[in-house]
Amino acid sequence: MLGTDGARTGDIFHLRTKFANIGWLTGEQIVRLAVGLLVMALVARHLGPEAFATYTYVFSIAAILIPIARYSCDGIVLRDIARHPEQARSIVTTSLAITTVLAIFAVIIGVLAFELLPGPEVLSPTLIALSLALVAVVPAEVFLAAAKASERMAWIAIPRAAVVITAGVATLLLVVGGAELPTFIAMRSAEAVFLALAAYLAFHWLYRRSARPRLSGHYAGQFLKAGLPLTLAGFAAMIYMRIDQVMLGAMAPSTELGHYGVAVRVAEVANFLPSVLQATLYPAMVRNHKLGKEHFQSFMQRTFDSFSLAAWPAMIGTAAAGLFLIVPAFGVDYAASIPLLLVLLVGSPFFFLYIALGSMLLTEGKVWTFAYISIASAIVNFSGNFFAIPNWGAQGAAGATVLTYFVSRRRGQIG
């Protein structure tokens, strides 16, 4: 009886911890989304569709390169520290060394991409350098992943929310002061730098008593081996989430990309929940996988149900907000973003399940399966955009994105 009561007490404790973690991460995400939308509305309205198209274009290219610099460190580091918390500092030190080299490589690719791809005529070396700073700070995500593995989310959420709010206030001041495009790009990159610093400080405090850090050649080999398929998957996923904007910038008028950029950013509001659920539930996935196949299957069934249920209110709420707020917030110049948003949101339930599927496959070690699914989806998206954009412009790009989300989920079921 005592053992049963103890187990129940432990279950209640872990349940409370999980709800608290969900609350902290959700709160941080809500702050980031609210401030992010406000900042985007201010910047888009201030710059106008054509200049905002350039803003969207440069950060779309940067976003495609981020998986190379990240090398899937977030998932791998979180998983390995959840398994071996006593090695946290060594895991982070080794991962940071590898991702720093890869970030330099990604920045070089970015410079070449900006030089070779047709894009907005107003691009300059300054804009390119400022946008690629976003890629250069990506290695700091190892600190964020390590902090998440501690399951003490308040240490992550509070400082990051403070950085986001400060950046939002600074952006408002820049708009009032009549700043131009390069300044807003610099502000976004500066925000990324301070978010990286906040992640480092949280990690340093949470793991200050763990074993001294050291570079581990053995772990480096494991990290590189485990990260390759995940990086390919992440790179492919980012391609099908951002290549539409790059292709619109090269194949359609700037105003089309400006309208589409707003629709995409608003649609992404619906996608914050899967990242919160993933960060909160992933350590538990690892533990249930250790307990055996039956425990893991039961836990994953509940996980997929949770992701499925979460998708619908997120999609409907975002659609309602877009219908009523885009024109008042962004201005009448962005009214064409509303139908684009509604099309994009059709793909949200498939995107939620894609995130859950990726977490499951990572936990099971089926990383190449996830990579194949993502690569196939990227090919579908690129092909769809190549055909649809010349014929239907931004509407074609939105349709190609929805098709890609559907295909990624269907291929996951087959796999």
Confidence of residue 409 (pLDDT cuts 50, 70, 90): low
Residue 229 has pLDDT above 80, yes or no: yes
The H or E element containing residue 315 is: helix 293-330
- C-alpha to C-alpha distances, 186 to 19, 70, 136, nearest whole angstrom: 36, 21, 13
- As a whole number of angstroms, the distance between CA 8 and CA 2 comes to 10
Residue of 193, 57, 171, 185 lying closest to 126 (CA atoms): 185
DSSP at 138: G
Contact between 360 and 303 (Cβ < 8 Å): yes
Within a domain: 398: yes
Residue 132 has pLDDT above 90, yes or no: yes
Q: Could you tell me how far CA 54 lies from the centroid of its own chain? A: 21
DSSP at 365: T
Within a domain: 159: yes
**Higher model confidence: residue 207 or residue 103?**
103
Q: Percent of the chain, pLDDT > 70?
A: 90
Within a domain: 342: yes
**Total structural domains within the chain:** 1
Q: What is the pLDDT of residue 82?
A: 74
Confidence of residue 18 (pLDDT cuts 50, 70, 90): low
Query: CA angle, 286 as apex, 284 and 290 as ends, to 5°?
Result: 115
**Higher model confidence: residue 138 or residue 365?**
138
Residue of 139, 275, 140, 282 lying closest to 201 (CA atoms): 140
Within a domain: 267: yes
Residue 5 has pLDDT above 50, yes or no: no
Residue 11 has pLDDT above 60, yes or no: no
7-21, 29-43, 215-229, 326-340, range with greatest mean pLDDT: 326-340
Contact between 354 and 408 (Cβ < 8 Å): yes
The H or E element containing residue 314 is: helix 293-330
* Upper half-sphere CA count for residue 378 (Cβ side, 13 Å): 17
Q: What is the pLDDT of residue 4?
A: 43
- As a whole number of angstroms, the distance between CA 215 and CA 91 comes to 8
pLDDT (mean) for 4-27: 57
Residues in the chain: 415
Within a domain: 11: no
Contact between 97 and 215 (Cβ < 8 Å): yes
Query: CA angle, 59 as apex, 223 and 181 as ends, to 5°?
Result: 145
Q: What is the pLDDT of residue 340?
A: 96
Model pTM score: 0.79
Mean pLDDT score of the chain, rounded to an integer?
Answer: 84
Q: Could you tell me how far CA 276 lies from the centroid of its own chain? A: 11
Query: CA angle, 19 as apex, 14 and 25 as ends, to 5°?
Result: 120
Q: What is the pLDDT of residue 357?
A: 87
Residue 12 has pLDDT above 80, yes or no: no
Q: What is the pLDDT of residue 46?
A: 94
Residue 210 has pLDDT above 70, yes or no: no
DSSP at 364: H
Q: What is the pLDDT of residue 9?
A: 42
Confidence of residue 43 (pLDDT cuts 50, 70, 90): very high
Within a domain: 7: no
Within a domain: 10: no
Provide the Cα torsion 316, 318, 323, 326; round to 10°: 180
Q: What is the largest CA-CA distance in the chain?
A: 74
Q: Which domain holds residue 358?
A: 16-414
Q: Counting Cβ atoms within 10 Å, is residue 203 exposed (0-12), middle (13-18) or buried (19+)?
A: buried
| Helix 88-116 / helix 125-136 crossing angle, nearest 10 deg | 160
DSSP secondary structure of 204-269: HHHTTTSPPP---HHHHHHHHHHHHHHHHHHHHHHHHHHHHHHHHHHHS-HHHHHHHHHHHHHHGG
pLDDT tens by residue, 328-375: 989 999 999 999 999 999 988 888 988 888 888 878 888 788 888 888
The token pair at 109 is 């690719």
Q: What is the pLDDT of residue 2?
A: 39
- As a whole number of angstroms, the distance between CA 41 and CA 118 comes to 27
Within a domain: 5: no
pLDDT (mean) for 114-143: 86
- As a whole number of angstroms, the distance between CA 276 and CA 49 comes to 31
